[in-house]
A and B are shown apart, each in its own frame.
Chain A
């Protein structure tokens, strides 16, 4: 089978959110001698871009995005061990987490998925994350953006605490801070000195790109 055909099957698999098909055709692509980076760029990424386009057009919804991202991951998992020395290109690096005392993660997870789909590299610290942990990972992971999520009206204050701690530790100028969560609004973002706020997940991607100067 021609390489183009294999790559087309891969992008279709991602578009359909079919993990099984993507895994299978990724293995076939390797067996056919296609370079891992080519599999990613001309197969998987094409598929996820198609998913993004259908979402933007209103045909696809959040579950379609999630399943598309999962299918892409199934291919990446096969490829990663083979990619020694080769590096995937990302458009930015984001550290994400839900503040201490808050166990809510669905909103954060949607934003992570959409950022990944848009080409960001994301580290997820999970839920109930102490401010210190954000600081440590800012040092180690060196993100260009930190995303801080809080759902409870009683925990939103933690977002402020993290920004203050970044300041104290001399890290504030090295990163952009984005905040989100149901009770959050622009006014709160301004009050605590966050660089960005987004009212929903797709806006979050736009804001992240804007903060990094990737769009006008």
Chain B
């Protein structure tokens, strides 16, 4: 892409450190299946740890697809994960929202999930939708309900984070119901399923089993641990990157050993801790810098990456949120990002906010504009145009070259940023976040997603009933 965080030599040093960790420290898991898979392929058991060997690493890393497609439930949305397009993905798992009317933080409800999913469906620069965590649905079947709610309220691709295999069967059934068949879902996956092991280098039982089951289900996997500098990872940024990379690679390797060629993303969440309060910070600049380094490693491996980036520590959609989200997302995009997550988030990815999602849509637009590929050629260098304008004592405004490039999208077109004259602005004197809030309200009130078919709805009802019966 455009930006290297590490020099070539430094990148190799970090890469080697990650391999060292995999070989000397390894991972632990209480899942027998996960242990057996790794050991059968040549990993070594040492005490409670499983150590990787160079052979296993080489063998598994070879089969990771560099690119895979992610689909919406209609043909409007087809994303090429692996070609560094910086697709914008909404925040996963927020237990709270900022109420769009009162501006107060409160528990997230099912109605909020419906509304924010429809809002994300309406926003052109939001590409993938991940659900918040509604508190007013039975928690035993929460992921099943979330998946169904998202599918009803958007036709865009989804990302459903699973912490165990408990509800996986029903999530998959819902996706199959929409895709038409299991085969259709495999060919055109409608969702990625990130799994979150625990830092440092611990796969537990739930995450390990979920990882294997997602791969077996033929759905694209995300390997998404979330270490914090100085708490669950080293205080040095390079140390955290090396360890985080190692734990992600461990998941990548396990997935490839189970099913060579299975699609996946390295979904880093490189965070840090406030050393006074102990709060986990998803802020800047450290998160953006470390993610840029991790993205560069992903590029080196030819493995798609999906860090969180539309995030910061601010509690409201204000100027701080604006610069935090732009900093992290742009750093990541410049270093080569396939997906950038956490859009619409506030307060270290713990709160979802309608206004912020509209702001992030704007930021995503400029981020994606920034990394658009371009050529340098005779025509856009425009020497002849300059010469001609000067020779004719003319200006560029009336030149056909100007019109041509204007029409081809040379200028970024903002969706909410204010650029009119001072006088025009002064009529309403609105801040951009006020405009974002208005836009959010309008879209929530009016936007209708493409509906699901009657048959699919019937199928959904059956699946949810079955999930209740099995899990509650």
A interface residues (Cβ-Cβ under 8 A, vs B): 58, 61-63, 101, 103-104, 106-107, 110, 152-154, 156-157, 182-183, 185, 187-188, 199-202
Assuming the contacts A107-B278, A202-B277, asked whether A154 and B96 have C-beta atoms less than 8 A apart, the reply is no
User: CA–CA, A202 to B276, complex, Å?
Assistant: 9
Decide if B100 is an interface residue (CB 8 Å cutoff). no
Tell whether, in the assembled complex, residue B278 and residue A183 are in contact, meaning their CB atoms are under 8 Å apart: no
Q: Which residue of A lies closest to B142 (CB)?
A: A154
Taken together as a complex, chains A and B put the C-alpha atoms of A188 and B350 apart, in Å, by: 14
Least distance between A125 CB and chain B CB atoms (Å): 17
The 8 A-B pairs of least Cβ separation, nearest first, read: A200-B277, A61-B275, A153-B133, A183-B95, A110-B278, A103-B198, A157-B139, A201-B278
CB distance from B98 to the nearest CB of A (A): 13
Partner of B95, one of A61, A101, A156: A156
Q: Which of B16-24, B225-233, B321-329, B394-402 contacts A (4 or more CB under 8 A)?
A: B225-233
Q: Is the beta-carbon distance between A103 and B202 smaller than 8 angstroms?
A: yes
Dominant SS at the A interface? loop
Query: Whole-angstrom distance between the alpha carbons of A102 and B126 in the complex?
Result: 31
Structural contact, B95 and A153, CB atoms closer than 8 A: yes
- Bound CA span A187–B99, Å: 15
Q: Which of A63, A154, A182 contacts B350 (CB 8 A)?
A: A182
Measured in the bound complex, the distance between the Cα atoms of B280 and A128 in whole Å is 20
* CB neighbors of A among B113-158 (8 A): 133, 139, 142-143
B164 at the interface (CB under 8 A from A): yes
A153 touches B278 (CB 8 A): no
**What total count of A-B pairs have CB within 8 Å?**
56
- Chain A nearest CB from B49 CB (Å) reads 16
Contact B276 A61 (CB under 8 A): yes
B-chain residues with CB within 8 Å of residue A199 when the two chains form the complex: 277
Contacting A at CB under 8 A, from B204-248, are: 204, 206, 228, 230-232, 235
A106–B232 contact, CB under 8 A? yes
Determine which residue in B95, B164, B348, B350 has the highest number of CB atoms from chain A within 10 A of its CB, and name it.
B95
B143 to chain A minimum Cβ distance, whole angstroms, is 8
Contact between chains at B139 and A154 (CB < 8 Å): yes
Nearest Cβ distance between residue B93 and chain A, in whole angstroms?
A: 5
Bound-state CA distance A106–B232 (Å) is 7
Contacts A61-B276, A101-B164 hold; do A106 and B93 have CB atoms under 8 A apart?
no
List the A side residues contacting B112 at CB < 8 Å.
Answer: none
CA distance A58 to B274 in the complex (A): 13
Majority secondary structure, B binding face = loop
> Are A62 and B163 in contact (CB-based, < 8 A)?
no
Contact among B228, B230, B232 for A63, CB-based, below 8 A: B230
Contact call A63/B279, Cβ cutoff below 8 A? no
Task: Select from chain A the residue with minimum beta-carbon distance to B164.
Answer: A101
- What CA separation (Å) do A104 and B139 show in the bound complex? 20
CB-defined contacts of A104 to chain B, threshold 8 Å:
198
Cα of A201 to Cα of B278 in the assembled complex, Å:
7
Q: Assess whether A183 is in contact with B106, with CB atoms less than 8 Å apart.
A: no
- Give chain A nearest CB distance to B465 CB in angstroms: 21
Cβ–Cβ < 8 Å partners of A153 in chain B = 93-95, 133
Q: Report 25 cross-chain contacts, Cβ distance below 8 Å, ordered by A residue.
A: A58-B276, A61-B275, A62-B273, A62-B276, A62-B278, A101-B164, A103-B198, A106-B232, A106-B278, A107-B278, A152-B163, A153-B95, A153-B133, A154-B133, A154-B142, A154-B143, A182-B280, A182-B348, A182-B350, A183-B95, A183-B133, A183-B350, A188-B107, A200-B277, A202-B277
Q: Is the CB of B280 within 8 A of A154?
A: no
Task: Report chain B residues within 8 Å CB of A187.
Answer: 106-107
Q: Which of A63, A103, A202 has the most CB of B within 10 A?
A: A103
Chain B residues in 8 Å Cβ range of A154? 133, 139, 142-143, 163
**Which residues of chain B in 137-193 are interfacial with respect to chain A, using CB atoms and an 8 Å cutoff?**
139, 142-143, 163-164
A58 CB to nearest B CB, Å? 8
Q: Which residues of A contact B198 (CB under 8 A)?
A: 103-104
Which residue of A is nearest B232, CB measured? A106
Find the A residue at minimum CB distance from B105.
A185
- The residue of chain A having its C-beta at the shortest distance from the C-beta of B167 within the complex is A154
Chain A residues within 8 Å of B202, by CB: 103
Measured in the bound complex, the distance between the Cα atoms of B272 and A106 in whole Å is 12
Do the beta carbons of A200 and B278 come within 8 Å of each other? yes
Whether A185 pairs with B96 at a CB distance below 8 angstroms is yes
Query: Closest residue to B166 on the A side, CB-wise?
Result: A154
| Closest chain B residue, CB of each to CB of A204 | B278
Residue of B nearest to A203 (CB): B277
Q: A103-B206, A185-B96 are in contact. List 15 more A-B contacts (CB 8 A).
A: A58-B276, A62-B275, A101-B164, A101-B206, A103-B198, A106-B228, A106-B278, A107-B278, A152-B163, A153-B93, A154-B133, A154-B139, A154-B142, A188-B107, A200-B278
Provide the bound-state CA to CA distance between A104 and B196, in Å. 12
Residues of A within 8 A of B93 (CB): 153
The residue of chain A having its C-beta at the shortest distance from the C-beta of B143 within the complex is A154
Encoded as 1 (CB less than 8 Å from any A CB) or 0, chain B from 73 to 100 comes to 0000000000000000000011110000
Q: How far apart are the CA atoms of A147 and B204 in the complex, in Å?
A: 23
Interchain CA distance A84-B106 in the complex, whole Å: 53
Identify the closest chain B residue to A202 (Cβ). Answer: B277
Q: Which residues of B contact A183 (CB under 8 A)?
A: 95-96, 133, 350
B280 — which chain A residues lie within 8 A by C-beta?
182
Could you tell me the distance in whole angstroms from the C-beta of A64 to the nearest C-beta in chain B?
Answer: 9
Q: Is the CB of B163 within 8 A of A201?
A: no
